[in-house]
Amino acid sequence: MKISTKGRYALRMVTDLAMYQNNEYVSLKDIAERQNISKKYLEQIVPMLNKSGILKTNRGNRGGYMLNRNPSELTVSDILIATEGSLAPVSCLENEVNDCPRKKECSTIHVWEGLYKTVYDYLSGITIQDIIDKYSPNDGDYYCI
């Protein structure tokens, strides 16, 4: 499984919003500059995050974007499912019910189900707040005596 650029950039965008929104809307221009991502590329990601209820949008002079949920309630899997569509390693596991005609004869389905469960559980266990808490740009400035 390979996560696309959209998924990776969406995760960076959401993390940036969590770090910098301070109860105010943040412009895409600011996010793009901080994250070194094209504003046009972020504009392609925004509708996916809006549709999934991850972002709030405000147009106008003080417009921009804000998270619709608390960073401690928003997981990496939420972001990736919104942008990638699914985390399933094989197409027969993309829907809630596996309707593959070979399901009963498939000797490898347990491999794919196990991989899917492992990936989903792992990514669902990491919140945006966890990412922020782990990220410490001032590691060298911290002293404990």
Give the per-residue pLDDT at 144: 47
Where the chain has pLDDT below 50, the residues are: 143-144
Within a domain: 76: yes
Q: What is the pLDDT of residues 100-124, one digit of tens each?
A: 888 888 899 999 999 999 999 999 9
**Number of domains within the chain:** 1
Give the per-residue pLDDT at 17: 96
Q: Residue 134's domain spans which residues? A: 5-86+127-138
What is the C-alpha to C-alpha distance for residues 64 and 47, in angstroms, rounded to an integer?
13
pTM: 0.86
Give the per-residue pLDDT at 97: 85
Check which CATH number belongs to the domain holding 64 and give it: 1.10.10.10
What is the C-alpha to C-alpha distance for residues 81 and 34, in angstroms, rounded to an integer?
24
